[in-house]
Amino acid sequence: MGGKGNSKPAGETLGDAERTRFADLLVAVAERQDRQAFAELFAYYAPRVKSYLLRLGADSALAEEIAQDVMVTVWRKAGLFDRVQASVSTWIFRIARNRRIDLFRRSKRPELDPEEEMILPSGVEAPDARIEAMETEARVRAAMKDLPEEQILLLKLAFYEGLSHSEIAARLGAPLGTVKSRIRLAFAKMKVRLGDE
Amino acid sequence: MFLTDAEMIKVTQQAELNESTLAALASGRAEPALDLFLDVLMKMRGILESEGEVISGVALEGEDPAEMSVDALAMAFAAIERGGLARQRALAYPELSVLPARLREAIASAESRSGWKTIGLGIRTLDLGAAGELKAEIVRVAPGMTVPRHTHKGRELTLCIHGEYMDSGAVYGPGDFSIRDPSIHHEPKALEGAPAYALAVTDAGLKFDGLLGVFQKVFGL
């Protein structure tokens, strides 16, 4: 492949201009069935979706197949993309995630672990103040920039890879209580609105 | 409050999910039927909990790109040519087209796969064919009709998705849901004037105990 979408070093995320460009490309796919725009999205996202699936334990052939399938779905559902609601990355992640739900029978995985602490800290108001989705996108991205590497790792393991708190503790060799409290702390920072601090 | 035997609880209050539950939902780790149920519930109640998905979108950008086969793009275009663009399939009951997209698609796909089954006078069900061990189905009750008194083998989560129905003395509208113990007899009745629809998630009596504990914690029951 080696398109320009692949030239970024691992770990680097998209800036504002690139995210706007990808949203433009996806809209071009939706409105004009623009193959060139799709090719550019494919060059950037297909290899990353494949990495995501490999990370989840798919073998190379299956990861390739699902990544292809996710990108075909991107083409087919481009008309449902709403740039006000989500970034292209978040939107494509959701498609990949839903394919994952369809394809992996997660029989060995513990699901919501009933032993896990589920009660929210008190004082949480009912979320009737509905925060705009795009503000969430900006807020979370800004918060992640300021977060120490270690807390980003914890958030990725929990939200992206879908490991339970006990699995994370085992993987990192850290006490469960520490893992729980740090994830809670890191996630709380994602929920602090810009300017609230 | 914990659900005891022979009890049915109506849940209408806003619920906030904590980060452990959100992580399970955002990552796709939760049982598929429960994942669908919670997703639809949150959308219907206007709860946007997308932080976890944004975190994941950012993580996806940060992935070390895996090598794709040389003809990957050409194969994708070939698949696109074969499949054409996704069209919004018409649903058997047009009033359901206002449902959240994911549920709407699940219904469209189930209609083309298994279709609605009539299980009694004015009562139809549609099995959504959820992967995993829990069953998710849509129940349609015609206006003014009653689902005959029945119990379930397992516990049941029922979310009103359209219309209104009365069950065990409470009226359920869109976004209201109940958790029902298997021993409870109930006979939901659609109000006059419009059909009522519910998304029901059931187990075979084996799996829900743990899940129910989760719900009790998540929703503070």
* Amino acid type, B148: P
Per-residue pLDDT tens over the stretch A78-122: 988 888 778 999 999 988 987 776 665 443 444 444 333 332 222
Residues across chain A: 197
Q: Is residue B46 within 8 angstroms of chain A, CB to CB?
A: yes
Q: Which residues pair with B159 in a beta bridge?
A: B177, B199
Sign of CA dihedral A174, A180, A186, A187: positive
Look at residue A146 and tell me whether its pLDDT is greater than 70.
yes
Per-residue pLDDT tens over the stretch B162-191: 999 998 888 898 888 887 766 667 778 999
Per-residue pLDDT tens over the stretch A159-193: 898 888 888 999 999 999 999 899 988 988 887 75
More confident of the two residues A23 and B215? A23
| Residue with token string 């779905």 | A73
Sheet holding B189-190, edge to edge: B170-172, B165-167, B189-190
**DSSP state, residue A115:** T
Contacts of B76 in chain A (CB under 8 A): 42, 46, 68, 71-72, 75
Give yes or no for a contact between B200 and B132, defined as CB atoms under 8 angstroms apart: no
Percent of chain B with pLDDT over 70: 67
| Host H or E run for residue A120 | none
CB neighbours of B139 closer than 8 A, spacing ≥ 6? B123, B124, B125, B147, B158, B197, B198, B200
- Among B14, B23, B218, whose Cβ lies nearest the Cβ of A159? B23
Percent of chain A with pLDDT over 70: 75
Mutate to test the interface with A, among B51, B85, B103, B201 (most CBs of A within 10 A): B51
| Residue with token string 């602490």 | A117
Q: Contact B86/A71, CB-based, under 8 Å?
A: no
More confident of the two residues B85 and B94? B94
Look at residue B62 and tell me whether its pLDDT is greater than 80.
yes
Per-residue pLDDT tens over the stretch B92-102: 998 998 888 77
Give yes or no for a contact between A93 and B53, defined as CB atoms under 8 angstroms apart: yes
Six-digit token pair at B168? Answer: 């065990």
Give pLDDT, residue A153. Answer: 94
* pTM of the complete model beyond 0.80: no
Closest alpha carbon to B199 in B137, B146, B155, B141:
B137
* Amino acid type, B134: L
Q: Please give the biggest Cα pair distance in chain B.
A: 63
**Predicted ipTM of the assembly:** 0.81
Return the number of CB contacts < 8 Å for A and B: 232
CB neighbours of A140 closer than 8 A, spacing ≥ 6? A190, B51, B54, B55, B58
Between positions 101 and 140 of B, the ones with CB within 8 A of A are 101-102, 131-132
Give CA separation, A50 vs A23, A58, A156, B175, in Å. 21, 9, 16, 36
Closest alpha carbon to A120 in B36, B16, B9, B76:
B16
Cα R_g (chain A), whole angstroms: 18
